[in-house]
Structure 1
């Protein structure tokens, strides 16, 4: 062959190879268009699938199942033996229609039609189902059918629609659009032995539009059981764009939203502390009222972990139990080795104790959460909230975003009783305090073992009086904080507090004088001062008067009708001074000043301190209420406390304490000004804010502002700012330094970017310490039949040598709609930090 001919052949081959993909693509498109037409697919821009299936009208006959109607262009008909129909043959039965080019009709010995054989362009139609084949057989006696060389579609999840008028016998029903999740595919053989049970041999399955199937499942055998909501396939191959990417010998999957037992798709994720992670969860639908998800997993840096989530619901109780176990944690073992090397160089006794706790911890990591609520009858109920971690670092390594920095784990069980006049609470409460090394020291909390509370209320007594009483008996215990030697006092506290009030109400004015007598008795042990009495008692009278006006008028703003209220309030309190310095602090703190606190008689929480008071709380609230909907549009309140005497009862005696009687705040005649604003701009925009401003120092003590925008479930924006004076004290910085002021911003969003693509994010920054608190970033691609999202997060965990430490997480998740999720990690733990966000992943049709 000459060189010229060789050149021509090479050029020809080059262009042939170049054009081959386009030719194949065009041929594929042509085949897909043919399939789409056969399945009744109609292009449209109305939904995420760019189209829908159109169910053509067909004859509707009497609903009795034994009535069969046959029509044909020509044939040989017999009431005995075999009949043959040709041309456009139609066989109609209640809710079914069969068409074919040729049909053989077989009758039983009684002359009743019982079997038909169909040949040529066979179409079997039922509501939401179409099967097209070359030939088939239908046995009306056994209600079984089979078809060969078929193309099928069937709706898996039906959307709720308005009821339609049933067509009368012999009429033609209307066309109907099918936009619900619908599966389609091919098979060599189709058989149905019972209603809603599809058995397919050498078959394919997908929920993608027929014009552009992104994925397909091909298997030797596929069963779709709509009665149980499950499907399974044997020797299954998953193809993406006709490229096989996965083979499984057996696959069991859900085809509807019912709860079914079976393996879920693997969970794929990772973090900087655990490395890559893979979990294989198994869902066990044990009964209609309880289920369990068991998830064995592998963590590259740690080893194997097992988690179990159990949920239950009974006539009286509901709850969940979550358990996690990871034996022989390799990463944790290395952490212990580093602590052992560090220990000889440490002189701080608290850090020494924390390192010893770390070294002596078991490498078997474990955690438990139990939540329970019970309602035994109209009077008795209970609540349990029990949280346990096997070591001080468990939540940092395995907790969610909101749990990572938690250091007090509640362990509480409550029993309640209530009737018309009496309420009883029996409580056992403790906190498991976590002490991670090189973090801010955290003190152990007192346990209530037990706490018994009895409250009685008798309103509408003679002369309009209301009698009430609050009784409490509590036993307090405490464990030493690691690294400390001081024995803290323990003991019992009894408080009996009867009272009487006289509610006086008029049309727009009320006044309620009230008198109480707080009688408290302590029996103490482990007192530091051995000469001090073990028994202490306190008796304090409490007088207060609450009064207010409720005025309203019609208002019109921006051409909209409102009702505006004006609600001034006065709240006077008198409590004489009693020296309470010798009483230990079991469960009492100083209340943060808020607008509601202006109208509370005690500036402390708990019963260990009752503050002396001679003061008047003054406040005014105004509201705008939508006349048509009755919803509150705006709420604005402001007020302060006028003090007629200095405050002397304290929690501490340190000059730096704001609670100290010598502190200037306790000598001021006016409290800081407190204000609150809630503004519902419309159904989409909401603003909530509050602030405390000190007129003496002329500075803001604390404030929070939050803006929330959410027109629907897919568009969300949250913006928040928090400021607290001396709310973020940093080691080595003097008190009242501006560097101790907490300044925190929080921004989060969820937003569709372009068609099928949406993004989520969160950014929380501590501007005082110049560090990131939380960061979340994610992108989601959600199409008609599949979805994918990548979610990552970075969460502040602790300070190590004044250097911020972070936990980094990531998840990748795929959803093939119709057969479940692949790599379905747990990004919802991260996404739950976005206010208003509800995950729609893999659910948008």
Structure 2
């Protein structure tokens, strides 16, 4: 076959598609290329040295062919030598090209590259149909920029511009030249339109060793959800033995999904967990069900159920249902926590709320019950049912510094008579307040006054012979005032404030010994309580007081950024009368003339050091009743050291603990992780945790050993393992949640 130099004149064919053949490079604008979606560590460029083909922007239905030699024979065009075929958004390079203008089919031989701005196919030839954007190729290597990912295949079929099937294929997200892991599969589908990759008859190889096989697996090509098996989690624990979970995710619809998780425990049996999530314009929720038949250790079935549902009935009316149920009190100790519940949970909360919201008020109706799961919980400690509870919170700013607030409650307290003979009854609580505030920027003055009226209708059961109808009315008044002084320091780079504050409060004494305790406890004292008249949490006790609080705060701010660098506060209450109201009627009056001295501070030194602390010091007894101090050092994202100490004198709840946690880089890719939580009071370790995490260019590994003291006075020893294959899936045994709870400031980056 003879060849001749190509001409630049456009050629036409019956389908009105334009073809331009030229010698050399035709000037054209370049199409932007997609940016990689996976953030990789430094030195992990995905495709170093790879020259991504440049694209051209052409008129619609125009095809351009550049080649050293072009020959035309009717509707057929042959090109060889540096062949480049351009259409808007894609490019085909080949050693040899035979193009049929009638059918729009391009056949290539030898080294061939097809690029669409994201996917680069490097093949040994095949056929490509320009109009349909379909084709078949052999001996393929491919790169996908948007994932990023790469792979190879013996044969490939392009069904649409964004959907490809590969046979005898390999797939990885590791950079070019890094073969840390491969997904080897008989059939691989990449659907960039739906953002899903699918592999059948697949084996995952890590460091050349097969670690998992599955007849079917799908994985993300972007951040959209999709159905399929998630990689299993594995671990071992002294409570469960070898523990393996294999979740399957079902993307039912854009607003519905479910996850089914069989959990195989060598010492317990097989548990099935099901989590269902739903989202509608007016309602949403999540249901979590876990069931273990015939626990080998426990000797009976075990289960846990939780349902959290929310409905927006109207724009102002909302309903929420939050219920939970567990088979027994040891469930969370044996199988781990569930959301807000842990191994020390004595009861589960069940509630239904109906809430009406308006700008000036909120009306809520609640029904609340509890499941007692701790058999050691005494009848006196069992919480009351609220059947129902109606609350109204209202307030409004009237202008000129004047505002009013109103808190009201109607609640019926009940208890199962077979479990307790404590009294039950109905309580009505009305708590209005009026306040005024003047604030000039450097001085503020805020008086307030209110009254609290509470009425009880009681059913006294058992041996309680007190009155069945009780009313209590208690007025109160307070004045809060303070000054703010400012001065520049450090050559004007910092601003220091000095803020003296005085708070006066008065609540007269009312005899409340005949009122039962439904839901009221004593508030923990802290710096914030210095400016509050409420010694109790709940309406069953209104603490009497006649007090003056003096406090002083100083702060240092960065003038340029406004960031607070230092805050130190100290304050104390001076009591002008004894406090006679107590939670227990037979408890003696509080006759101390002053409260504990409350100290609080926060500091930020540079961008690496931070610290905070709270101290309560009893001047009369010359002892510290509370000390909570923590210091953190974090020079960069991968490095964090936390040192903390907490001591509290609270009778049976007294604690005296140290807590040290560390995450620190050992090498550029390896971090050490550890935590030591120790009880000085009991002279025992509460938690020991040690591990390593390694981050490569396309995978991460974490191994953590943990020894934790349980509430049944035994130690639980466990090992947690996690392997993350970027862009594919994660083998996990709960490492992320464990480290987030144990190490302050920890960020699961890998």
Same-fold call, TM > 0.5? yes
| C-alpha separation in 2, matches of 1:785 and 1:256 | 16
| C-alpha separation in 2, matches of 1:719 and 1:122 | 60
1:118 aligns with 2:50: no
1:398 maps to what in 2?
A: 335
| C-alpha separation in 1, matches of 2:511 and 2:76 | 109
1:699 maps to what in 2?
A: 623
Tell whether the 8 Å contact from 2:46 to 2:174 is kept in structure 1 after alignment: no
Tell me the secondary structure at the aligned position of residue 666 of structure 2. Answer: strand
| C-alpha separation in 1, matches of 2:304 and 2:667 | 42
Q: 1:134 aligns with which of 100, 104, 124?
A: 124
Q: 1:761 aligns with which of 674, 691, 705?
A: 674
- 1:487 Cα deviation from its structure 2 partner: 1.3
TM-score (norm 1): 0.79
Tell me the secondary structure at the aligned position of residue 711 of structure 2. Answer: strand
Structural mapping, 1:117-196, within 5 Å = 117-157=107-147, 181-185=148-152, 187-196=153-162
Structure-2 change in CA distance of 1:721 and 1:377 (3 Å): farther
Structure-2 change in CA distance of 1:796 and 1:118 (3 Å): same
1:829 maps to what in 2?
A: 737
Q: 1:321 aligns with which of 282, 287, 290?
A: 287
Tell me the secondary structure at the aligned position of residue 396 of structure 1. Answer: helix
Tell whether the 8 Å contact from 1:513 to 1:545 is kept in structure 2 after alignment: yes
- 1:496 Cα deviation from its structure 2 partner: 2.1
1:308 maps to what in 2?
A: 274
Tell me the secondary structure at the aligned position of residue 298 of structure 2. Answer: helix
Q: 2:406 aligns with which of 447, 464, 469?
A: 469
Tell whether the 8 Å contact from 1:692 to 1:701 is kept in structure 2 after alignment: yes
- 1:728 Cα deviation from its structure 2 partner: 4.8
Tell me the secondary structure at the aligned position of residue 629 of structure 1. Answer: coil
1:36 maps to what in 2?
A: none
| C-alpha separation in 1, matches of 2:690 and 2:380 | 32
Structure-2 change in CA distance of 1:762 and 1:507 (3 Å): closer
Tell whether the 8 Å contact from 1:55 to 1:128 is kept in structure 2 after alignment: no
Structure whose residues are more often strand by fraction = 2
| C-alpha separation in 2, matches of 1:715 and 1:64 | 54
| C-alpha separation in 1, matches of 2:360 and 2:120 | 66
1:96 aligns with 2:67: no
| C-alpha separation in 2, matches of 1:414 and 1:711 | 46
Structure-2 change in CA distance of 1:73 and 1:389 (3 Å): same
- 1:191 Cα deviation from its structure 2 partner: 1.8
| C-alpha separation in 1, matches of 2:394 and 2:41 | 62
- 1:750 Cα deviation from its structure 2 partner: 2.5
- 1:506 Cα deviation from its structure 2 partner: 4.3
Structure-2 change in CA distance of 1:249 and 1:423 (3 Å): closer
1:652 maps to what in 2?
A: 584
Tell me the secondary structure at the aligned position of residue 493 of structure 2. Answer: strand
2:385 maps to what in 1?
A: 447
1:526 maps to what in 2?
A: 460
Q: 2:648 aligns with which of 724, 728, 731?
A: 724
Tell me the secondary structure at the aligned position of residue 659 of structure 2. Answer: strand
1:675 aligns with 2:599: yes
Tell whether the 8 Å contact from 1:421 to 1:457 is kept in structure 2 after alignment: yes
TM-score (norm 2): 0.88
1:620-675 Cα deviation digits (max 9, x unpaired): 22222322222322222111111111111112256xxxx631xxxx2221111111
Tell whether the 8 Å contact from 1:673 to 1:693 is kept in structure 2 after alignment: yes
- 1:694 Cα deviation from its structure 2 partner: 0.7
| C-alpha separation in 2, matches of 1:529 and 1:250 | 68
- 1:385 Cα deviation from its structure 2 partner: 3.9
Tell me the secondary structure at the aligned position of residue 529 of structure 2. Answer: helix
| C-alpha separation in 1, matches of 2:60 and 2:321 | 55
Structure-2 change in CA distance of 1:748 and 1:381 (3 Å): farther
| C-alpha separation in 2, matches of 1:453 and 1:318 | 24
Q: 2:611 aligns with which of 666, 674, 687?
A: 687
Indicate the larger mover: 235-244 or 139-148. 235-244
- 1:57 Cα deviation from its structure 2 partner: 5.9
1:797 aligns with 2:731: no
| C-alpha separation in 1, matches of 2:271 and 2:177 | 44
1:512 aligns with 2:446: yes
2:489 maps to what in 1?
A: 556
| C-alpha separation in 2, matches of 1:208 and 1:576 | 73
- 1:465 Cα deviation from its structure 2 partner: 5.2
1:435 aligns with 2:393: no
1:430-464 Cα deviation digits (max 9, x unpaired): 34333256x99982112222221223334437x97
Tell whether the 8 Å contact from 2:137 to 2:157 is kept in structure 1 after alignment: yes
Q: What are the ranges of 5 or more consecutive residues in structure 1 without an aligned counterpart?
A: 1-44, 158-180, 334-362, 730-740
| C-alpha separation in 1, matches of 2:608 and 2:251 | 39
Structural mapping, 1:272-671, within 5 Å = 272-333=238-299, 363-373=300-310, 376=313, 379-400=316-337, 403-436=342-375, 443-460=381-398, 466-479=403-416, 487-529=421-463, 531-549=465-483, 551-557=484-490, 559=491, 561-652=493-584, 660-661=588-589, 666-671=590-595
Structure-2 change in CA distance of 1:430 and 1:567 (3 Å): farther
| C-alpha separation in 1, matches of 2:214 and 2:360 | 65
Structure-2 change in CA distance of 1:840 and 1:444 (3 Å): same
1:783 maps to what in 2?
A: 696
1:773 aligns with 2:681: no
| C-alpha separation in 2, matches of 1:308 and 1:516 | 51
- CA-atom RMSD, angstroms? 2.7
1:68 aligns with 2:58: no
1:14 maps to what in 2?
A: none
- 1:100 Cα deviation from its structure 2 partner: 2.1
Tell whether the 8 Å contact from 1:62 to 1:94 is kept in structure 2 after alignment: yes
1:149-197 Cα deviation digits (max 9, x unpaired): 222222352xxxxxxxxxxxxxxxxxxxxxxx32222x22122120122
1:562-620 Cα deviation digits (max 9, x unpaired): 33333222222222222211111111111121111111112111111111211112212
Structure-2 change in CA distance of 1:124 and 1:418 (3 Å): closer
| C-alpha separation in 2, matches of 1:530 and 1:785 | 70
| C-alpha separation in 1, matches of 2:708 and 2:316 | 44
How many pairs does the alignment contain? 708
| C-alpha separation in 2, matches of 1:547 and 1:832 | 41
Q: 2:659 aligns with which of 736, 740, 746?
A: 746
Q: Which has the higher contact order (CA 8 A, sep 6+)?
A: 1
Structure-2 change in CA distance of 1:247 and 1:422 (3 Å): closer
Structure-2 change in CA distance of 1:785 and 1:511 (3 Å): closer
Tell whether the 8 Å contact from 2:232 to 2:247 is kept in structure 1 after alignment: yes
Indicate the larger mover: 384-393 or 631-640. 384-393
Structure-2 change in CA distance of 1:145 and 1:251 (3 Å): same
1:36-58 Cα deviation digits (max 9, x unpaired): xxxxxxxxx98353663345364
Structure-2 change in CA distance of 1:46 and 1:795 (3 Å): closer
Tell whether the 8 Å contact from 1:552 to 1:563 is kept in structure 2 after alignment: no
Structure-2 change in CA distance of 1:611 and 1:492 (3 Å): same
Structure-2 change in CA distance of 1:415 and 1:566 (3 Å): farther
Tell whether the 8 Å contact from 1:117 to 1:135 is kept in structure 2 after alignment: yes
1:56 aligns with 2:51: yes
| C-alpha separation in 2, matches of 1:715 and 1:783 | 17
Structure-2 change in CA distance of 1:153 and 1:674 (3 Å): same
| C-alpha separation in 2, matches of 1:212 and 1:422 | 62
1:524-553 Cα deviation digits (max 9, x unpaired): 11344564321112122222222222x232
Structure-2 change in CA distance of 1:417 and 1:563 (3 Å): farther
Structure-2 change in CA distance of 1:748 and 1:372 (3 Å): farther
| C-alpha separation in 2, matches of 1:710 and 1:451 | 47
